[in-house]
Structure 1
Amino acid sequence: MRTRLTFLCDNEAAPGLGSEWGLSVAVKTIDGSLWLWDTGQSDLFLRNAQALGVDPALATGLALSHGHYDHTGGLRALLAAGFKGRILAHPEAGRPRYNHGKSVRDIGPPAPLPDFEAVADTRELSPGLRMFTNIPRRPDLFQAVRGFSYDPEGKLPDPVPDDAFLLLETRSGPVLLLGCCHSGLENSLLHLRDMLGLDRLHAVVGGLHLFNADSAEWERVAATLEDFGVRRLAVGHCTGSKAADYLEERLDCEVLRTRAGLRIEFD
């Protein structure tokens, strides 16, 4: 059976669908199971899903990439729609979070988060689908955590320890599905190599959080993708249009821009 990713929510959308700053993906695994990856920031992903012929309430489970509002904000709407599946996240996913930019913003999840299964390292969710958390951060490598804290005063820095990714087994090869990649792509792929000995990927999909990174980091990401032999790249959400443009021009592989309504299939 083909593995399929259907984008239910992203910053951009196909005609007839809605968009918001957020991410939600329906994952059809190699054994036919339906999983959800994040819920966007509102019930928008449910409305888009209906238009796309996907019923999130029937999903086996929901995996959360981290606890920010733009990935967890649709949780209450999902539960109200009748979802009874498993919810999995890092133990720190339910903490309050704040962003210190021009002003202080609450960027945390719904309070309180529904009961969830804590994934503190890695866990197989279903055949062909594995979740990874607790991604080590090398001090010399990029991570997207600037301006985040656990308190409004900014005294307790938030390194986003709950950042997670999914690994899908497909007949085409391994596929990495990211949320925001706050750990940084280099850290994430090095962790994958350390855990599984995996040093080749067929595809990388999701947000790379490069919209506020410099061009030197864009180049390091491009080099890392080349090192892992990535043949398909699909980026959106927090990647940033300029970074996506750079990667599309720089890389000798298929590069897609994600948006609500996009379906990606792997043999």
Structure 2
Amino acid sequence: MTTTLTAPAPAATRVIPDARPVTLRQAIANSLTMAYRGVLKIKHNPEQLFDVTIQPIIFTLMFTYIFGGAVSGDVQSYLPVIIPGILVQTVITTSMVTGTQLREDMDKGVFDRFKSLPIARISPLAGALLADMVRYVIATTLTIVMGLIMGYRPDGGVFGVLAAAALVIACSFATSWIWALLGVLANKASAVQGYSMLILFPLTFMSSAFVPVHTMPGWMQAFVKVNPITHLVYACRDLMNSGHIGADFGWSLLGAAAIVAIFAPLTVRLYMRKA
């Protein structure tokens, strides 16, 4: 009787992503690819754009006609004050959705698949945040268009308006890294939304966006003057109403750069631990 020896079946192996360091060029390319994925998601699910298409219209009309007479005496005099303020408030508020959608994707296991790919670790997060810039552009455009329809005529011209729009979009992208961090840390998407509103609403409403700072109580003025939203509102007013680039413009860019420098690597590090 002949005994046939068979080799043991090979153990299941796990595919390990390429450990070679990713270059900056590859990281940018990976992030843009992930951003394209996010844009396709918006294309196939246009309901995601309801907030950025309806909110700018409602907020611009509501705040202008509620505060216009009380603050400036009439609506036309209030438009140079409120339109830059609404622009900042609307677009910055829109960035909150980033953390909520990120948490939902992580709960579905989408980012676990990305983690197994030989791509830059930051690209899934950066790509999602870059895709959300489409939302910022839509909210910015609708707010400015609504202001023009209502009679706002920015003395800063096309340059001032475009520069203010670019500044707000850049700062919103930077702010979205904060909400992305909350998305990584929180257990539910609803919790991310609650935390984001708790942080952002005081910052936007306790600022110079809607009313003059000197009309506020002294203790509140101290906070408003150091509030980064106030600097961003002042920078947009300077650009849109006079085409002037002042110190507030520089402070806004510096703050945005600081947020990205701190929160981007922190978010990626925590994401890699939890994903």
| Same fold, judged at TM 0.5 (above) | no
If each structure's helix is expressed as a fraction of its own residues, which one has the higher value? 2
Q: Could you say which structure has the greater relative contact order, defined with CA pairs below 8 angstroms and 6 or more residues apart?
A: 2
The TM-score range, normalised by the shorter chain, is: under 0.3
If each structure's strand is expressed as a fraction of its own residues, which one has the higher value? 1
Q: If the length of structure 1 is used for normalisation, what is the TM-score? A: 0.24
